[in-house]
Amino acid sequence: MTSIYYKKINEMKKVFIEGAIQPGFVAEAIAKHQSKKNIGAHNIFLGQIRADEVDGKQMNAITYSAYEEMAAEKLHEIREDAFAKFNLTCMHIYHSLGKVKAGELCFFVFVSSKRRKQVYQATEYLVNRVKSEVPIFGKEIFASKEFQWKVNV
Amino acid sequence: MTSIYYKKINEMKKVFIEGAIQPGFVAEAIAKHQSKKNIGAHNIFLGQIRADEVDGKQMNAITYSAYEEMAAEKLHEIREDAFAKFNLTCMHIYHSLGKVKAGELCFFVFVSSKRRKQVYQATEYLVNRVKSEVPIFGKEIFASKEFQWKVNV
Amino acid sequence: MLRIKYFGVMAEVARCDEEKLALKDKSFSSLISALHEKYAIYNLPVQVAVNRKIRKQNENFNLEENDEIAVLPPFSGG
Amino acid sequence: MLRIKYFGVMAEVARCDEEKLALKDKSFSSLISALHEKYAIYNLPVQVAVNRKIRKQNENFNLEENDEIAVLPPFSGG
Protein backbone atom coordinates (compact mmCIF):
# COMPACT_ATOMS: atom_id res chain seq x y z
CA MET A 1 0.00 0.00 0.00
CA THR A 2 2.80 2.41 0.88
CA SER A 3 4.41 2.26 -2.55
CA ILE A 4 1.07 2.88 -4.29
CA TYR A 5 0.52 5.85 -2.03
CA TYR A 6 3.91 7.35 -2.87
CA LYS A 7 3.36 6.68 -6.56
CA LYS A 8 0.16 8.71 -6.43
CA ILE A 9 1.80 11.55 -4.57
CA ASN A 10 4.53 11.62 -7.20
CA GLU A 11 2.01 11.76 -10.00
CA MET A 12 0.24 14.65 -8.31
CA LYS A 13 3.50 16.56 -8.13
CA LYS A 14 4.09 16.03 -11.80
CA VAL A 15 0.68 17.12 -13.05
CA PHE A 16 -0.14 20.43 -11.40
CA ILE A 17 1.89 23.55 -11.95
CA GLU A 18 1.34 26.79 -10.04
CA GLY A 19 0.37 29.51 -12.54
CA ALA A 20 1.00 29.48 -16.29
CA ILE A 21 3.02 26.76 -18.02
CA GLN A 22 6.08 28.48 -19.49
CA PRO A 23 7.39 27.78 -23.01
CA GLY A 24 10.76 27.05 -21.38
CA PHE A 25 9.14 24.28 -19.34
CA VAL A 26 7.91 22.71 -22.59
CA ALA A 27 11.45 22.99 -24.00
CA GLU A 28 12.89 21.23 -20.91
CA ALA A 29 10.34 18.44 -21.26
CA ILE A 30 11.36 17.99 -24.91
CA ALA A 31 15.08 18.10 -24.08
CA LYS A 32 14.66 15.34 -21.46
CA HIS A 33 13.56 12.98 -24.23
CA GLN A 34 16.65 13.43 -26.39
CA SER A 35 18.46 10.63 -24.58
CA LYS A 36 15.67 8.20 -25.54
CA LYS A 37 16.92 7.02 -28.89
CA ASN A 38 14.00 4.73 -29.63
CA ILE A 39 11.62 7.72 -29.98
CA GLY A 40 10.85 8.86 -33.52
CA ALA A 41 7.79 11.09 -33.00
CA HIS A 42 6.48 13.46 -30.35
CA ASN A 43 3.09 15.11 -30.29
CA ILE A 44 2.31 18.03 -27.99
CA PHE A 45 -0.99 19.68 -27.21
CA LEU A 46 -0.98 23.09 -25.53
CA GLY A 47 -4.10 24.79 -24.21
CA GLN A 48 -3.84 28.59 -24.27
CA ILE A 49 -6.23 31.02 -22.56
CA ARG A 50 -8.27 33.03 -25.07
CA ALA A 51 -9.36 36.61 -24.35
CA ASP A 52 -12.95 35.80 -25.33
CA GLU A 53 -15.65 38.40 -25.17
CA VAL A 54 -18.82 37.40 -23.31
CA ASP A 55 -21.76 39.85 -23.40
CA GLY A 56 -19.36 42.66 -24.26
CA LYS A 57 -17.01 41.87 -21.38
CA GLN A 58 -13.45 40.77 -22.07
CA MET A 59 -11.97 37.74 -20.37
CA ASN A 60 -8.60 38.39 -18.77
CA ALA A 61 -7.62 35.19 -17.03
CA ILE A 62 -8.79 31.85 -15.68
CA THR A 63 -8.19 30.78 -12.09
CA TYR A 64 -7.96 27.00 -11.82
CA SER A 65 -8.54 24.82 -8.79
CA ALA A 66 -8.70 21.03 -8.56
CA TYR A 67 -9.65 18.18 -6.32
CA GLU A 68 -6.06 17.05 -6.47
CA GLU A 69 -6.32 13.64 -4.80
CA MET A 70 -9.15 12.52 -7.09
CA ALA A 71 -7.42 14.10 -10.11
CA ALA A 72 -4.29 12.06 -9.39
CA GLU A 73 -6.28 8.82 -9.27
CA LYS A 74 -8.21 9.66 -12.42
CA LEU A 75 -5.07 10.67 -14.31
CA HIS A 76 -3.44 7.42 -13.29
CA GLU A 77 -6.40 5.52 -14.77
CA ILE A 78 -6.38 7.63 -17.97
CA ARG A 79 -2.65 7.05 -18.40
CA GLU A 80 -2.98 3.28 -17.96
CA ASP A 81 -5.83 3.22 -20.49
CA ALA A 82 -3.82 5.25 -23.02
CA PHE A 83 -0.76 3.01 -22.65
CA ALA A 84 -3.00 -0.02 -23.25
CA LYS A 85 -4.73 1.56 -26.25
CA PHE A 86 -1.81 3.18 -28.09
CA ASN A 87 1.76 2.17 -28.75
CA LEU A 88 3.53 4.89 -26.74
CA THR A 89 6.98 5.28 -25.25
CA CYS A 90 6.20 8.20 -22.89
CA MET A 91 3.26 10.30 -21.83
CA HIS A 92 3.17 13.48 -19.74
CA ILE A 93 0.24 15.62 -18.62
CA TYR A 94 0.55 19.01 -16.93
CA HIS A 95 -2.17 21.43 -15.90
CA SER A 96 -2.02 24.83 -14.24
CA LEU A 97 -3.52 25.69 -10.86
CA GLY A 98 -4.16 29.29 -9.81
CA LYS A 99 -4.27 32.23 -12.17
CA VAL A 100 -3.37 31.95 -15.87
CA LYS A 101 -3.72 35.09 -17.99
CA ALA A 102 -5.04 35.33 -21.55
CA GLY A 103 -2.29 34.29 -23.98
CA GLU A 104 -0.64 32.04 -21.41
CA LEU A 105 -0.62 28.24 -21.39
CA CYS A 106 -2.68 26.20 -18.91
CA PHE A 107 -2.56 22.64 -20.26
CA PHE A 108 0.29 20.57 -21.73
CA VAL A 109 -0.07 17.02 -23.02
CA PHE A 110 3.03 15.33 -24.43
CA VAL A 111 3.17 11.87 -26.01
CA SER A 112 6.12 10.11 -27.61
CA SER A 113 6.31 6.98 -29.71
CA LYS A 114 8.68 5.01 -31.88
CA ARG A 115 6.65 5.91 -34.99
CA ARG A 116 4.28 8.75 -35.71
CA LYS A 117 1.12 6.89 -36.68
CA GLN A 118 -0.75 6.94 -33.36
CA VAL A 119 0.61 10.05 -31.65
CA TYR A 120 -2.05 12.50 -32.86
CA GLN A 121 -4.91 10.25 -31.83
CA ALA A 122 -3.28 9.48 -28.48
CA THR A 123 -2.91 13.19 -27.72
CA GLU A 124 -6.53 13.86 -28.67
CA TYR A 125 -7.68 10.96 -26.48
CA LEU A 126 -5.73 12.26 -23.48
CA VAL A 127 -6.86 15.87 -23.94
CA ASN A 128 -10.52 14.84 -24.18
CA ARG A 129 -10.42 12.51 -21.19
CA VAL A 130 -8.62 15.07 -19.00
CA LYS A 131 -11.14 17.76 -19.93
CA SER A 132 -14.18 15.58 -19.25
CA GLU A 133 -13.07 13.33 -16.39
CA VAL A 134 -10.51 15.10 -14.24
CA PRO A 135 -11.91 17.30 -11.43
CA ILE A 136 -10.39 20.65 -12.41
CA PHE A 137 -12.45 23.83 -12.15
CA GLY A 138 -11.86 27.06 -14.06
CA LYS A 139 -13.17 30.45 -13.01
CA GLU A 140 -13.13 32.97 -15.85
CA ILE A 141 -12.12 36.43 -14.71
CA PHE A 142 -13.17 39.49 -16.73
CA ALA A 143 -11.39 42.82 -17.07
CA SER A 144 -14.23 44.28 -14.94
CA LYS A 145 -13.25 41.84 -12.11
CA GLU A 146 -16.55 40.05 -12.64
CA PHE A 147 -16.26 36.31 -13.10
CA GLN A 148 -18.11 33.22 -14.28
CA TRP A 149 -17.40 29.54 -13.83
CA LYS A 150 -16.01 27.95 -16.97
CA VAL A 151 -18.04 25.21 -18.66
CA ASN A 152 -16.33 22.86 -21.12
CA VAL A 153 -18.08 22.51 -24.46
CA MET B 1 6.25 38.81 -59.79
CA THR B 2 8.77 40.45 -57.49
CA SER B 3 6.60 40.17 -54.40
CA ILE B 4 5.85 36.51 -55.11
CA TYR B 5 9.56 35.90 -55.52
CA TYR B 6 10.38 37.54 -52.20
CA LYS B 7 7.53 35.67 -50.53
CA LYS B 8 9.07 32.40 -51.67
CA ILE B 9 12.53 33.36 -50.52
CA ASN B 10 11.09 34.25 -47.13
CA GLU B 11 9.33 30.93 -46.87
CA MET B 12 12.54 29.12 -47.70
CA LYS B 13 14.32 30.97 -44.93
CA LYS B 14 11.64 30.00 -42.47
CA VAL B 15 11.49 26.31 -43.28
CA PHE B 16 15.06 25.00 -43.34
CA ILE B 17 17.29 25.06 -40.31
CA GLU B 18 20.96 24.14 -40.40
CA GLY B 19 21.50 21.11 -38.13
CA ALA B 20 19.20 19.91 -35.36
CA ILE B 21 16.12 21.85 -34.25
CA GLN B 22 16.74 22.86 -30.64
CA PRO B 23 14.09 22.57 -27.90
CA GLY B 24 14.74 26.28 -27.20
CA PHE B 25 13.71 27.09 -30.77
CA VAL B 26 10.41 25.29 -30.15
CA ALA B 27 9.96 27.31 -26.95
CA GLU B 28 10.57 30.58 -28.83
CA ALA B 29 8.01 29.59 -31.47
CA ILE B 30 5.46 28.91 -28.70
CA ALA B 31 6.28 32.17 -26.89
CA LYS B 32 5.70 34.19 -30.09
CA HIS B 33 2.07 33.03 -30.07
CA GLN B 34 1.28 34.29 -26.59
CA SER B 35 0.29 37.71 -27.91
CA LYS B 36 -2.37 36.08 -30.13
CA LYS B 37 -5.28 36.01 -27.74
CA ASN B 38 -7.71 34.33 -30.12
CA ILE B 39 -5.71 31.07 -29.99
CA GLY B 40 -7.04 28.35 -27.68
CA ALA B 41 -5.15 25.28 -28.87
CA HIS B 42 -1.73 24.46 -30.28
CA ASN B 43 -0.59 21.14 -31.66
CA ILE B 44 3.07 20.36 -32.27
CA PHE B 45 4.67 17.44 -34.05
CA LEU B 46 8.38 16.80 -33.57
CA GLY B 47 10.34 14.24 -35.55
CA GLN B 48 13.30 12.83 -33.63
CA ILE B 49 16.14 10.73 -35.08
CA ARG B 50 16.06 7.14 -33.81
CA ALA B 51 19.24 5.11 -33.29
CA ASP B 52 17.80 2.17 -35.23
CA GLU B 53 19.77 -0.98 -35.79
CA VAL B 54 19.95 -2.21 -39.39
CA ASP B 55 21.65 -5.58 -39.99
CA GLY B 56 23.48 -5.23 -36.68
CA LYS B 57 24.77 -1.73 -37.49
CA GLN B 58 23.69 1.20 -35.36
CA MET B 59 22.45 4.41 -36.94
CA ASN B 60 24.14 7.50 -35.58
CA ALA B 61 22.74 10.42 -37.56
CA ILE B 62 20.90 11.48 -40.68
CA THR B 63 22.30 14.05 -43.10
CA TYR B 64 19.51 15.93 -44.87
CA SER B 65 19.63 17.75 -48.17
CA ALA B 66 16.79 19.32 -50.15
CA TYR B 67 15.86 20.76 -53.50
CA GLU B 68 15.10 24.00 -51.70
CA GLU B 69 13.43 25.97 -54.51
CA MET B 70 10.95 23.19 -55.27
CA ALA B 71 10.47 22.53 -51.54
CA ALA B 72 9.50 26.19 -51.02
CA GLU B 73 6.90 26.00 -53.79
CA LYS B 74 5.50 22.68 -52.56
CA LEU B 75 5.33 23.90 -48.96
CA HIS B 76 3.49 27.00 -50.11
CA GLU B 77 0.91 24.78 -51.84
CA ILE B 78 0.59 22.46 -48.80
CA ARG B 79 0.08 25.45 -46.49
CA GLU B 80 -2.62 26.94 -48.72
CA ASP B 81 -4.39 23.58 -48.86
CA ALA B 82 -4.24 23.16 -45.07
CA PHE B 83 -5.60 26.68 -44.44
CA ALA B 84 -8.48 25.89 -46.84
CA LYS B 85 -9.19 22.50 -45.25
CA PHE B 86 -8.89 23.30 -41.53
CA ASN B 87 -9.87 26.21 -39.37
CA LEU B 88 -6.39 27.38 -38.34
CA THR B 89 -4.96 30.61 -36.99
CA CYS B 90 -1.27 29.86 -37.65
CA MET B 91 0.87 27.16 -39.17
CA HIS B 92 4.65 26.70 -39.12
CA ILE B 93 6.84 24.02 -40.66
CA TYR B 94 10.57 23.63 -40.01
CA HIS B 95 12.96 20.95 -41.24
CA SER B 96 16.65 20.40 -40.66
CA LEU B 97 19.31 20.40 -43.34
CA GLY B 98 22.73 18.89 -42.76
CA LYS B 99 23.60 16.49 -39.97
CA VAL B 100 21.15 15.63 -37.19
CA LYS B 101 22.30 13.09 -34.61
CA ALA B 102 20.21 10.31 -33.03
CA GLY B 103 18.06 11.80 -30.24
CA GLU B 104 17.97 15.21 -31.91
CA LEU B 105 14.99 16.83 -33.65
CA CYS B 106 14.82 17.19 -37.44
CA PHE B 107 11.18 18.14 -38.12
CA PHE B 108 8.81 20.57 -36.38
CA VAL B 109 5.20 21.19 -37.39
CA PHE B 110 3.19 23.68 -35.34
CA VAL B 111 -0.50 24.53 -35.83
CA SER B 112 -2.70 26.84 -33.79
CA SER B 113 -6.43 27.32 -33.77
CA LYS B 114 -9.20 29.00 -31.80
CA ARG B 115 -10.50 25.62 -30.67
CA ARG B 116 -8.87 22.24 -30.37
CA LYS B 117 -11.11 20.07 -32.53
CA GLN B 118 -9.12 20.12 -35.79
CA VAL B 119 -5.55 20.68 -34.62
CA TYR B 120 -4.53 17.02 -34.37
CA GLN B 121 -5.82 16.18 -37.83
CA ALA B 122 -4.27 19.33 -39.32
CA THR B 123 -0.87 18.41 -37.87
CA GLU B 124 -1.14 14.85 -39.18
CA TYR B 125 -2.12 16.16 -42.63
CA LEU B 126 0.87 18.52 -42.75
CA VAL B 127 3.34 15.91 -41.51
CA ASN B 128 2.19 13.35 -44.08
CA ARG B 129 2.22 15.76 -46.98
CA VAL B 130 5.67 17.11 -46.12
CA LYS B 131 7.06 13.59 -45.84
CA SER B 132 5.59 12.42 -49.14
CA GLU B 133 5.65 15.54 -51.33
CA VAL B 134 8.53 17.79 -50.31
CA PRO B 135 11.90 17.04 -51.97
CA ILE B 136 14.00 16.39 -48.88
CA PHE B 137 16.54 13.57 -48.85
CA GLY B 138 17.95 11.81 -45.80
CA LYS B 139 21.19 9.83 -45.72
CA GLU B 140 21.41 7.54 -42.73
CA ILE B 141 24.89 7.41 -41.25
CA PHE B 142 25.98 4.39 -39.19
CA ALA B 143 28.50 4.24 -36.35
CA SER B 144 30.78 2.37 -38.78
CA LYS B 145 30.69 5.43 -41.13
CA GLU B 146 28.75 3.34 -43.65
CA PHE B 147 25.53 4.92 -44.86
CA GLN B 148 22.28 4.21 -46.67
CA TRP B 149 19.71 6.52 -48.20
CA LYS B 150 16.60 6.84 -46.05
CA VAL B 151 13.29 5.60 -47.47
CA ASN B 152 10.03 6.83 -45.91
CA VAL B 153 7.60 4.06 -45.02
CA MET C 1 -20.31 13.61 11.62
CA LEU C 2 -19.03 13.38 8.07
CA ARG C 3 -16.49 15.72 6.49
CA ILE C 4 -17.58 17.14 3.13
CA LYS C 5 -15.28 18.94 0.67
CA TYR C 6 -16.63 21.53 -1.77
CA PHE C 7 -15.00 22.57 -5.03
CA GLY C 8 -15.39 25.29 -7.66
CA VAL C 9 -18.73 27.08 -7.66
CA MET C 10 -19.95 24.65 -4.97
CA ALA C 11 -17.42 26.09 -2.51
CA GLU C 12 -19.00 29.49 -3.19
CA VAL C 13 -22.50 28.10 -2.66
CA ALA C 14 -21.40 26.47 0.61
CA ARG C 15 -19.21 29.47 1.53
CA CYS C 16 -16.46 27.08 2.60
CA ASP C 17 -14.07 24.46 1.16
CA GLU C 18 -14.92 21.88 3.77
CA GLU C 19 -17.42 21.33 6.58
CA LYS C 20 -18.76 18.66 8.92
CA LEU C 21 -22.37 17.54 8.61
CA ALA C 22 -24.39 15.51 11.12
CA LEU C 23 -26.68 12.94 9.48
CA LYS C 24 -29.57 10.99 10.94
CA ASP C 25 -27.91 7.81 9.75
CA LYS C 26 -24.76 6.91 7.80
CA SER C 27 -26.51 6.10 4.49
CA PHE C 28 -25.52 7.81 1.22
CA SER C 29 -29.19 8.77 0.65
CA SER C 30 -29.25 10.64 3.99
CA LEU C 31 -26.15 12.54 2.91
CA ILE C 32 -27.75 13.51 -0.41
CA SER C 33 -30.94 14.64 1.40
CA ALA C 34 -28.94 16.69 3.91
CA LEU C 35 -26.96 18.35 1.08
CA HIS C 36 -30.17 19.12 -0.75
CA GLU C 37 -31.83 20.58 2.34
CA LYS C 38 -28.86 22.83 2.97
CA TYR C 39 -27.82 23.75 -0.62
CA ALA C 40 -30.66 22.62 -2.93
CA ILE C 41 -28.18 20.39 -4.79
CA TYR C 42 -30.93 18.75 -6.86
CA ASN C 43 -31.11 22.06 -8.71
CA LEU C 44 -27.35 22.31 -9.21
CA PRO C 45 -25.28 20.46 -11.83
CA VAL C 46 -23.14 18.75 -9.18
CA GLN C 47 -21.84 15.25 -8.63
CA VAL C 48 -20.91 13.63 -5.34
CA ALA C 49 -17.72 11.61 -4.99
CA VAL C 50 -17.09 9.14 -2.17
CA ASN C 51 -13.47 8.15 -1.73
CA ARG C 52 -12.65 9.81 -5.07
CA LYS C 53 -15.26 7.90 -7.07
CA ILE C 54 -18.38 9.58 -8.46
CA ARG C 55 -21.53 7.89 -7.12
CA LYS C 56 -25.02 8.20 -8.56
CA GLN C 57 -27.28 10.25 -6.32
CA ASN C 58 -29.88 7.46 -6.19
CA GLU C 59 -27.38 4.79 -5.11
CA ASN C 60 -27.76 3.44 -1.63
CA PHE C 61 -24.95 2.24 0.58
CA ASN C 62 -23.53 2.99 3.98
CA LEU C 63 -20.86 5.57 4.59
CA GLU C 64 -18.06 5.29 7.09
CA GLU C 65 -16.82 7.95 9.48
CA ASN C 66 -13.63 8.76 7.58
CA ASP C 67 -14.92 8.42 4.02
CA GLU C 68 -13.68 11.25 1.80
CA ILE C 69 -16.78 13.00 0.47
CA ALA C 70 -16.70 15.76 -2.14
CA VAL C 71 -19.34 17.77 -3.99
CA LEU C 72 -18.12 18.63 -7.49
CA PRO C 73 -19.48 21.00 -10.14
CA PRO C 74 -18.87 20.25 -13.86
CA PHE C 75 -15.21 19.72 -14.68
CA SER C 76 -13.69 22.49 -16.76
CA GLY C 77 -9.98 21.81 -17.07
CA GLY C 78 -8.03 22.56 -20.22
CA MET D 1 22.70 22.34 -73.68
CA LEU D 2 20.41 21.84 -70.70
CA ARG D 3 21.41 22.18 -67.04
CA ILE D 4 20.38 19.20 -64.90
CA LYS D 5 20.42 19.15 -61.08
CA TYR D 6 20.87 15.92 -59.15
CA PHE D 7 19.78 15.30 -55.57
CA GLY D 8 20.28 12.68 -52.88
CA VAL D 9 21.48 9.30 -54.10
CA MET D 10 21.14 10.56 -57.70
CA ALA D 11 23.94 13.07 -57.06
CA GLU D 12 26.11 10.11 -56.06
CA VAL D 13 25.13 8.15 -59.17
CA ALA D 14 25.94 11.18 -61.35
CA ARG D 15 29.00 12.08 -59.22
CA CYS D 16 27.94 15.73 -59.33
CA ASP D 17 25.15 18.04 -58.15
CA GLU D 18 24.65 19.61 -61.54
CA GLU D 19 25.81 19.13 -65.12
CA LYS D 20 25.06 20.23 -68.66
CA LEU D 21 23.78 17.72 -71.20
CA ALA D 22 23.59 18.09 -74.97
CA LEU D 23 20.42 16.61 -76.48
CA LYS D 24 19.63 15.78 -80.11
CA ASP D 25 16.49 17.88 -79.73
CA LYS D 26 14.78 19.86 -76.96
CA SER D 27 12.01 17.37 -76.26
CA PHE D 28 11.38 15.92 -72.78
CA SER D 29 11.58 12.39 -74.21
CA SER D 30 15.08 13.09 -75.55
CA LEU D 31 16.08 14.25 -72.09
CA ILE D 32 14.71 11.07 -70.48
CA SER D 33 16.52 8.92 -73.08
CA ALA D 34 19.79 10.78 -72.52
CA LEU D 35 19.49 10.38 -68.75
CA HIS D 36 18.76 6.67 -69.18
CA GLU D 37 21.71 6.17 -71.51
CA LYS D 38 24.05 7.86 -69.08
CA TYR D 39 22.63 6.69 -65.70
CA ALA D 40 20.14 3.89 -66.47
CA ILE D 41 17.41 5.90 -64.77
CA TYR D 42 14.67 3.48 -65.87
CA ASN D 43 16.13 1.13 -63.26
CA LEU D 44 16.28 3.79 -60.53
CA PRO D 45 13.35 4.99 -58.44
CA VAL D 46 13.76 8.57 -59.62
CA GLN D 47 11.41 11.32 -60.77
CA VAL D 48 12.21 14.21 -63.08
CA ALA D 49 11.04 17.73 -62.26
CA VAL D 50 10.87 20.53 -64.84
CA ASN D 51 10.58 23.99 -63.37
CA ARG D 52 9.89 22.45 -59.96
CA LYS D 53 6.99 20.27 -61.12
CA ILE D 54 7.27 16.48 -61.37
CA ARG D 55 6.57 15.31 -64.94
CA LYS D 56 5.70 11.76 -65.98
CA GLN D 57 8.57 10.12 -67.86
CA ASN D 58 6.29 9.28 -70.81
CA GLU D 59 5.01 12.87 -71.20
CA ASN D 60 6.06 14.69 -74.31
CA PHE D 61 6.64 18.41 -74.55
CA ASN D 62 9.43 20.75 -75.56
CA LEU D 63 11.99 22.05 -73.13
CA GLU D 64 13.51 25.50 -73.18
CA GLU D 65 17.14 26.46 -72.73
CA ASN D 66 16.78 27.82 -69.19
CA ASP D 67 14.25 25.32 -67.83
CA GLU D 68 15.16 24.13 -64.35
CA ILE D 69 15.55 20.35 -64.60
CA ALA D 70 16.11 18.10 -61.59
CA VAL D 71 16.40 14.35 -61.08
CA LEU D 72 14.99 13.38 -57.70
CA PRO D 73 15.15 10.12 -55.75
CA PRO D 74 12.31 9.21 -53.34
CA PHE D 75 11.60 11.94 -50.81
CA SER D 76 12.58 11.04 -47.27
CA GLY D 77 12.07 14.09 -45.11
CA GLY D 78 10.85 13.90 -41.52
pLDDT tens digit string along A18-71? 999 999 999 999 999 999 999 999 999 999 999 999 889 999 999 999 999 999
For D2-72, CATH gives: 3.10.20.30
Query: Are B138 and D77 within 8 A, CB to CB?
Result: yes
Under 8 Å between Cβ of C44 and C10: yes
Q: Which residues in chain C (11-30) have CB-CB distances under 8 A to chain A?
A: none
pLDDT tens digit string along B46-86? 999 999 998 899 999 999 999 999 999 999 999 999 999 99
pLDDT at residue A14, rounded to an integer: 81
Domain range annotation of chain D: 2-72
Mean pLDDT along residues C43-66: 95
Query: Are A120 and B116 within 8 A, CB to CB?
Result: no
Query: How many CB atoms within 10 Å of residue A45?
Result: 25
Residues on chain C touching A137 (C-beta within 8 angstroms)? 7-9, 73, 75-77
CATH of the domain at A70: 3.90.1170.40
Our count of domains for chain B comes to 1
Of D7, D8, D77, the CB nearest to B130: D77
CA–CA separation, D34 and D39 (whole Å): 8
Within a domain: A132: yes
Within a domain: A122: yes
Mean pLDDT along residues D18-28: 93
Under 8 Å between Cβ of B49 and B101: yes
Angle at the Cα of B105 from the Cα atoms of B104 and B107, rounded to 5 degrees:
160
Query: Are A23 and B23 within 8 A, CB to CB?
Result: no
Residues on chain A touching C66 (C-beta within 8 angstroms)? none
Q: Which residues in chain A (114-133) have CB-CB distances under 8 A to chain B?
A: 114, 116, 119-121, 123-124, 127
Q: Which domain holds residue A145?
A: 15-149
Ranges of beta strands (E only) in A1-153 are: 16-18, 41-48, 53-54, 57-66, 90-101, 105-113, 136-142, 147-149
Chains C and D touch (3+ CB pairs under 8 A): no
Within a domain: A4: no
**Taken in order D73, D77, B144, D6, is the CA torsion positive or negative?**
positive
Neighboring chains of C (3 or more beta-carbon pairs < 8 A)? A
pLDDT tens digit string along A89-125? 999 999 999 999 999 999 999 999 999 999 999 999 9
Beta-strand pair B90-101/B16-18: parallel
Q: Is C2 exposed, middle or buried (0-12, 13-18, 19+ CB in 10 A)?
A: buried
Within an 8 Å CB–CB cutoff, is residue C70 touching chain A? Answer: yes
Residues on chain B touching A38 (C-beta within 8 angstroms)? 50-51
- Confidence at A147, pLDDT banded by 50, 70, 90: very high
Residues linked to residue A114 through DSSP beta bridges, in sequence order: none
Within a domain: A27: yes
Mutate which: B63, B70, B124, vs D, most D CBs within 10 A = B70
Of B69, B70, B95, the CB nearest to D77: B95
Q: How far apart are the first and last CA of chain D?
A: 35
Q: State the pTM of this model.
A: 0.93
Residue C59, pLDDT above cutoff 50: yes
* A100, A104, A109, A110 alpha-carbon torsion, rounded to 10°: -140
pLDDT at residue B2, rounded to an integer: 44
Within an 8 Å CB–CB cutoff, is residue A26 touching chain B? Answer: yes
Within a domain: A116: yes
Residue B28, pLDDT above cutoff 60: yes
pLDDT at residue C26, rounded to an integer: 92
CA–CA separation, D76 and D10 (whole Å): 14
Query: Are B42 and A42 within 8 A, CB to CB?
Result: no
